[in-house]
Amino acid sequence: MQGNFKYSNPTTLYFGDHSIQYLNDELSKYGSNVLFIYGGNSIKKNGLYDEVLQILKSNQKNVFEDAGVMPNPTLDKLYEGIKIARENKVDFILAVGGGSVVDYAKAVSVSIHCEEDPWDKYFDRFEDVSCKIVPMGCILTMVGTGSEMNGGSVITNTQTKEKIGHVFGENVFPKFAILNPVYTFTVPHYQMIAGFFDIMSHILEQYFSGTDDNTSDYIAEGLMKSLIHSSKIAVKDPTHYEARSNIMWTSTWALNTLIHQGKPGDWMVHMMGQAIGAYTDATHGMTLAVVSLPYYRYIMKDGLVKFKRFAINVWNVNPENKTDEEIAKEGLYCLENYMKELGLVMKSKELGVTESMIRDIARKSFILEGGYKKLSFDEVVEILEASM
C-alpha cells in the first residue's frame, strides 16, 4: 500500500428487500421540511412514489417535491431545485432514483445556503463547501454510479457543453442509503447493462494504476469476478434476486472510496466518457464502453504487468507458452467478448459522436496523470477516433 491515508465512510447502508422499513428511523433524526427529489415517471409506475410519500406523511413531514431530474442532470435544473428548496426552507433532502437523482440531490444540498453561483464554485473552481449543508439520504432504484455512498456529483452545463464531476467530502455523502435490489428489477434493459459497465469501469479505473503489490487490487479482482458472474445471469433473467443483489452490493463497493485507498487512480475513461456525454447526452455507462477498449489497447504496453495480471486473475487466461504481451492482449479480448455478450454499445458514432466533434470532445476531456501513461491532446484525439 502506498502513502498515508485516513479511511472512513459516514453513509449508513440498509440492504435487502425489507430495507425500506428503516426509513422511519432515519426520518426521525431530521427536520420536518423535506425536499423529495426524483426523476421521471419510473417511481410512479412501480409504486415506490406512493410508498415513500405515505412514509413521509406518517412521520408528519411537510413534503415539497422536486420532480423531473433527467439522466445527466443539468445546471438549469439545479437552479430550479435550489429555488424550490429555498422557498420552502427545506431542512432535509430525500432522493429517490438512480445516480442522476442522487448526484443532483448532493448538488442541491450544498447550494441552498451558498451565496455564490454553484457552477462557478463547485464545478469550475472545485472549491470545498463553505456554507451549511442540508443533509440528504437516498433510496436507490438503479445501480452503477456508487453515488449512494460517495461524494460524487456530476452536473452538465448545456451552455458551455461541459459535464463535470465534483467529488465532495464526507460531509456531503448521503447520510443513509436504502438499497433494495427488487427496486432495480424495473430498470430498462439498456440502462441496466450501461449501469453494469459503469461498475466495471469504476473498478478498472482504480485497478489499472500503480505498480506495487496492493490489497486494493485483490479486492478489485474479487469485485470484478462477482460482477462478471452475476451480470451474465441478470441479462438473461433481470428478476434474479441473487444476481441483482450481488450486483447492487458490488456497485456500492466499486466506488465508495475503499479500493482507491493506498494507490493512484487512472480515470481517463471517465474523462473522455463524460466529454462525450456533454456533446451527445448519451447514457453514462455507454460512453465508457465505447472508449474503454481503444484506450486500454493504447496504454497496454505501459502497464503490461497489470494487464497481464488482469488477464490471468480476472479472466483465467492460461499463460503457458505465451509472451506477456500475448497474455495481456487476450485479457482485453475477454473483456471485449464480455462487453459484447452484455450487448453494450461499442462504437462512439452509435452514440451520436461525429468526426467534426472529436477535437472539441478531446478539448473537454481533462487529462489526468494517475494511470500508466499521461496522454497528450493528440493521443486523446487518436483514441476518440479509434472509438468511432
Per-residue binder mask for ligand NZQ (CB under 6 A), 182-221, x = binder: -xx-xxx--x---x--x-----------------------
In whole angstroms, give the CA distance from residue 290 to residue 346: 5
* Binding positions for ligand NZQ, 51-90, rule CB under 6 A: 71-72
In whole angstroms, give the CA distance from residue 103 to residue 107: 6
In whole angstroms, give the CA distance from residue 103 to residue 350: 26
Cell 496522454 maps to which residue? 375
Sole binder of ligand NZQ in the list 146, 174, 265, 331 (CB under 6 A): 146
Instruction: Give the single-character DSSP code of 74.
Output: B
The dihedral built from the CA positions of residue 95, 100, 103 and 109, taken in this order, carries a sign that is negative
Contact between 179 and ligand NZQ per CB under 6 A: no
* Binding positions for Zn ion, 181-200, rule CB under 5 A: 198
Between 35 and 327, whose beta carbon lies closer to ligand NZQ? 35
Between 203 and 384, whose beta carbon lies closer to ligand NZQ? 203
Per-residue binder mask for Zn ion (CB under 5 A), 139-178, x = binder: ----------------------------------------
* Closest listed residue to residue 131, CA positions, set 84, 201, 82, 189: 82
Query: What backbone phi and psi angles, to 5 degrees, belong to 178?
Result: -100, 120
Rounded to a whole number of angstroms, the minimum distance from the CB of residue 277 to Zn ion is 10
101 binds, among Zn ion, ligand NZQ, none (CB under 5 to 8 A by kind): ligand NZQ
Contact between 97 and ligand NZQ per CB under 6 A: yes
154 binds, among Zn ion, ligand NZQ, none (CB under 5 to 8 A by kind): ligand NZQ
Contact between 141 and ligand NZQ per CB under 6 A: yes
Contact between 160 and ligand NZQ per CB under 6 A: no
Between 112 and 172, whose beta carbon lies closer to ligand NZQ? 172
Sole binder of ligand NZQ in the list 100, 206, 209, 257 (CB under 6 A): 100
Between 266 and 330, whose beta carbon lies closer to ligand NZQ? 266
H/E stretch holding 156 reads strand 152-157
Locate 285 and state its grid cell.
Answer: 455507462
Query: What backbone phi and psi angles, to 5 degrees, belong to 92?
Result: -150, 145
What's the farthest any 2 CA atoms get from each other in the chain?
A: 69
Contact between 238 and ligand NZQ per CB under 6 A: no
Rounded to a whole number of angstroms, the minimum distance from the CB of residue 99 to ligand NZQ is 3
* Binding positions for ligand NZQ, 243-302, rule CB under 6 A: 255, 270, 284
Rounded to a whole number of angstroms, the minimum distance from the CB of residue 271 to ligand NZQ is 10
Please write down the long-range contacts of 219-222, taking CB distance under 8 Å and 24 or more positions apart: 219/253, 219/258, 219/259, 220/259, 221/313, 221/314
What is the full DSSP assignment across 221-289? HHHHHHHHHHHHHHHH-TT-HHHHHHHHHHHHHHTSSGGGTTS----HHHHHHHHHHHHH---HHHHHH
Three-class SS of 11-64: CEEEECCCHHHHHHHHHCCCCCEEEEEECCCHHHHCCHHHHHHHHHHHCCCEEE
Interface ranges with ligand NZQ (CB under 6 A): 39-43, 46, 71-72, 97-101, 103, 141-142, 144-147, 150, 152, 154, 165, 183-184, 186-188, 191, 195, 198, 255, 270, 284
Interface ranges with Zn ion (CB under 5 A): 198
